[in-house]
Structure 1
Amino acid sequence: MDERRKRADARRDDAGFTLIELLVSMAVFTVFIAILLTTIVALSRSATRTQLVGESTNSTLVVFGNMDRQVRYADSINYPGAGTSGTRYVEFRIPAPSSASGATTCIQWRFDVINQELDSRQWSDGSPTNATAWSTKLENVINDGVATHPFQLIPANISDSPRQQLVLTIDAGNSALDSGASASTTFFARNSSIKSTSNDPLTPVCTFSGYRP
Structure 2
Amino acid sequence: MVPTTRRRVSGDAGFTLLEVVVAFGVMSLAGALFTAGIARMHAAASAGEEVSVAAAQAHQAFLRLDRELRYSDGISEPGTVDATGRTYVEYRTTALAGAITCTQMRLDPAAGVLQVRSRVTSPGGVMGAVAAWHTLASYLNGPQSIVRHPADVAARHHQELEMALTVRAGAGEQSRARTVVYAFTALNTSPDTDSDTVCGDMARA
Q: Fold conserved (TM > 0.5)?
A: yes
User: What is the DSSP-based 3-state SS (H/G/I as helix, E as strand, rest coil) of the residue aligned with 2:140?
Assistant: coil
Q: C-alpha displacement at 1:112, in angstroms?
A: 1.7
2:116 equivalent to 1:120: yes
Rounded Cα–Cα distance in structure 2 between residues aligned with 1:39 and 1:143 = 28
Rounded Cα–Cα distance in structure 2 between residues aligned with 1:212 and 1:135 = 15
Q: Aligned runs of 1:44-193 on 2, under 5 Å?
A: 44-84=42-82, 85-97=84-96, 102-125=98-121, 130-144=129-143, 149-174=144-169, 176=171, 177-193=174-190
Q: C-alpha displacement at 1:140, in angstroms?
A: 1.5
List alignment gaps of at least 5 residues for structure 2: 1-5
Q: CA RMSD in A?
A: 2.4
The structure that is helix-richer by fraction is 1
Runs (4+) of structure 1 exceeding 3 A deviation are 125-129
Q: C-alpha displacement at 1:164, in angstroms?
A: 0.3
Number of residue pairs matched by the alignment:
193
CA 1:86–1:39: 2 relative to 1, 3 Å: closer
TM-score by length of 2: 0.83
CA 1:211–1:128: 2 relative to 1, 3 Å: farther
User: What is the DSSP-based 3-state SS (H/G/I as helix, E as strand, rest coil) of the residue aligned with 1:173?
Assistant: strand
TM-score by length of 1: 0.80
User: What is the DSSP-based 3-state SS (H/G/I as helix, E as strand, rest coil) of the residue aligned with 2:11?
Assistant: helix
List alignment gaps of at least 5 residues for structure 1: 1-5
